[in-house]
Amino acid sequence: MDYIELKVFTDSDFAEIVTAELAEIGFESFIETDEGLNAYIVEEIFDKNNIEEIFSKYATQTLITFEFSRVEKKNWNDEWEKNYDTVKIDDICLIRASFHPSEGFPYEIIINPKMSFGTGHHETTYLMIKNQLKISHVHKVVLDVGCGTGILGIMASKLAASYVEAFDIEEWAVENARENFELNDCKNSNVQLGTIETLHLNKTFDIILANINRNILLKEIPKYSHLLNIDGFLLLSGFYESDAEEIKECAVSGGLKEIEKSVKNSWSAVIYQKII
């Protein structure tokens, strides 16, 4: 049985979205690349028209191009493992897959991603975890918005949060996050399918984590502020440094004060604190 290798060239912002879309139409395996991603599907069910239809939905938001070719069946797990490196954050936190050995870091997060995203390799995830390490999570109640693989919620649990609530709009992400929470022995957690509007959260939080795109942040920051306890922290990323001022204006209008901003390769991350 042969496969079709689809090479997608797009911004890293959209790689996860594209992955989810392709998974819905039968693509089985994904490998992140510097240019976007490679995806694989059984040749018999490949339909170029389906690809073009999906990508046309995002044509006004970003440039997406692709090329495809026939390849012989491979052991995709072996291919993925060859391309999946550990992530080290300031000699304090190691992010690794279950096939990597432990290296004795104070904190180690094991992530086996279904779609190979949300692993700590992206600048925004890296910055978010660095910021988490700067604030106390001890006995705190934490909300992880758009949790993906669950990596930020797992970090919160390892930093001694008393409870972690996480959610995502994608069913595959929810399943993967639950698996990763279990893999990291995070018993004080719950992962749900939905959005901040549909879940009707009936509690407040000491820390809210949101590593999602700029447009969603601008829409939802007022909701985060409403759910945040006084003196609580809101950690944001998923946007470029050029968007930071607009994000700040939205946050300040919601009663939040900027505590610290950091940048990595033009990506920005910010810590806010609720003051009113």
Alpha-carbon distance of 65 to 18, in angstroms, equals 12
Q: With 60 as the cut, is the pLDDT of residue 117 above it? A: no
Pick the more confident residue, 43 or 32: 43
What is the DSSP code string of 203-217?
Answer: S-EEEEEEE--HHHH
Pick the more confident residue, 20 or 141: 141
Quickly state the pLDDT bin for 116 (edges 50, 70, 90): very low
Pick the more confident residue, 226 or 170: 226
How wide is the angle at C-alpha 94 spanned by C-alphas 92 and 100, nearest 5°? 150
pLDDT in tens, 233-254: 999 998 889 999 999 999 999 9
pLDDT in tens, 81-100: 666 789 999 999 999 988 89
Q: Give the per-residue pLDDT at 125.
A: 92
Quickly state the pLDDT bin for 79 (edges 50, 70, 90): low
From 3.30.70.100, 3.40.50.10480, 3.20.20.390, 3.30.465.10, which CATH number describes the 2-78 domain?
Answer: 3.30.70.100
Q: Answer for the pair 133, 92: CB distance below 8 angstroms, yes or no.
A: yes
What is the domain partition of the chain in residue ranges?
2-78, 123-274
Q: State the distance between the two ends of the chain, measured CA to CA, in whole angstroms.
A: 61
Alpha-carbon distance of 254 to 218, in angstroms, equals 11
- Taking residue 257's Cβ as centre, other Cβ atoms within 10 Å add up to 13
Identify the CATH homologous superfamily for domain 123-274.
Vaccinia Virus protein VP39 (3.40.50.150)
Amino acid (1-letter code) at residue 95 = I
Q: With 60 as the cut, is the pLDDT of residue 184 above it? A: yes
Q: With 50 as the cut, is the pLDDT of residue 162 above it? A: yes
What is the b/e burial string over 30-53, where b = at least 16 CB atoms within 10 angstroms of the residue's CB? bbbeeebbbbbbeeeebeeebbee
Share of residues in the chain with pLDDT > 90 (%): 62
Q: With 60 as the cut, is the pLDDT of residue 259 above it? A: yes
